[in-house]
Amino acid sequence: MPEACLRLQWPRSRARHVLPLIAVLGALVAGARVGTAADEIHVLSSGATSPAYLQLVPLFEKQTGHKLITDAIATGVGPTAIPARIRRGEPGDVVLTAAATLDDLIKQGRVVADSRADLARSSIGMAVRAGANRPDISTVEALKRTLLDARSVAYSAQVSGLYLVNELFPRLGVADAVAKKSRRAETEPVGEIVARGEAEIGFQQISELRAVKGIDYVGPLPGDAQRTTVFAAGVLTASRHQDASRALIRFLRSPEAVRVMTQSGLEALASAR
């Protein structure tokens, strides 16, 4: 059969209908590309969520085409803390922080209420310098002895440290003894202080301790000495990328994110899929 006979020949009557349809489809495709244009999403992450979040950044960017800009892996108090940055009006789209802090930001009108999503539960642990003796903290009594015997103690300036100083240490009757030999980490992870040998033992969220090199993670606080904190995500009301920001939060509750959070030492709370 001649090659010419294999060519598709559209009747002129059909061509009049098909050609406009092709034009419409082309316009729709072009519009879809504009609607899914990549956005730059500015993220403020707490120290507890940062190890898992940073691992997930490349995967989210690959899947969506969006770019994540992490302005602050916020630790400590004062001007470097997440609430202070937001009050100053620093650029931001998504915030990952303790649920109580997020709820306060919602009340202040700085975070969109219906964007709030719990991500993970975090527990407090203890660490020593790499290779050092690992004290026993398997029971509350053992923890008390360890606190009294330690030459120096470091703790966080954020939620875990506030709990230790204001509630746990007084309850155990060691507040005065520990105060004389303790150091509060204002602007760096507790693990860094322990790794340098500036504190014999250190307490912080487990995920934060595991992210630091040069220390050995001993274990979680025992029994009713433990205090867990829920960390959540929300979209800032000032965000110019509301849809992309919500997409990031959905991703942070996906099976992939749950797996990474669990590996980092967090207890992931939900999967969106």
Tokens representing 112 are 């969109």
Residue of 221, 232, 22 lying closest to 106 (CA atoms): 232
Q: What is the pLDDT of residue 231?
A: 96
Q: What is the pLDDT of residue 72?
A: 60
Torsions phi, psi for 120 (to 5 deg):
-160, 160
Residue of 218, 250, 200, 206 lying closest to 49 (CA atoms): 206
Residue of 266, 101, 76, 55 lying closest to 189 (CA atoms): 76
pLDDT tens, position by position, 194-212: 999 999 999 999 999 999 9
Q: What is the pLDDT of residue 37?
A: 72
Bridge-based pairing of strands 67-74 and 40-46 is parallel
> What's at 214, amino acid-wise?
G
pLDDT confidence bin for 6, thresholds 50/70/90: very low
β-sheet bridge partners, residue 46: 74
Cα 5 from chain centroid (whole Å): 64
Q: How many CB atoms lie within 10 A of CB 16?
A: 10
Can you tell me the mean pLDDT for 258-270?
Answer: 93
Burial class (CB in 10 A: 0-12, 13-18, 19+), 229: buried
Distance CA 62, CA 40 (A): 13
Whether 75 has a pLDDT exceeding 70, the answer reads no
Sheet holding 94-98, edge to edge: 67-74, 40-46, 94-98, 229-235, 117-122, 267-268
Whether 15 has a pLDDT exceeding 80, the answer reads no
Average pLDDT score over the chain: 87
CATH number of 40-121+230-268: 3.40.190.10
Q: What is the pLDDT of residue 2?
A: 43
Q: What is the pLDDT of residue 8?
A: 36
Q: How many CB atoms lie within 10 A of CB 151?
A: 8
The pTM for the full model equals 0.81
When comparing pLDDT for 80 and 180, which is higher?
180
Which whole-number Å values give the CA distances from 228 to 57, 120, 223, in the listed order? 25, 10, 12
Whether 3 has a pLDDT exceeding 60, the answer reads no
- Each domain of the chain, given as residue ranges in start order, spans 40-121+230-268, 124-225
3-state secondary structure at position 15:
helix
Distance CA 63, CA 82 (A): 27
Tokens representing 34 are 């504009």
Can you tell me the mean pLDDT for 223-227?
Answer: 97
Q: What is the pLDDT of residue 33?
A: 37
Q: Are 122 and 205 in contact (CB under 8 A)?
A: yes
73 membership: H or E segment, kind and range: strand 67-74
Q: What is the pLDDT of residue 82?
A: 87
12 membership: H or E segment, kind and range: helix 12-35
Distance CA 202, CA 128 (A): 7
Whether 7 has a pLDDT exceeding 50, the answer reads no
- Name the CATH superfamily for 124-225: Periplasmic binding protein-like II (3.40.190.10)
Length of the chain (residues): 273
- Give the rounded percent of residues in the chain with a pLDDT score beyond 70: 83
When comparing pLDDT for 77 and 238, which is higher?
238
Judged by average pLDDT, the poorest of 19-33, 133-147, 227-241 is 19-33
Examine domains 40-121+230-268 and 124-225 and report if their fold is the same. Answer: yes
Whether 248 has a pLDDT exceeding 50, the answer reads yes
Q: What is the pLDDT of residue 70?
A: 86
Phi and psi based region of residue 65 (left: phi greater than 0; alpha: psi -120 to 50; beta: remaining): left
Q: What is the pLDDT of residue 73?
A: 62
- Give the rounded percent of residues in the chain with a pLDDT score beyond 90: 74
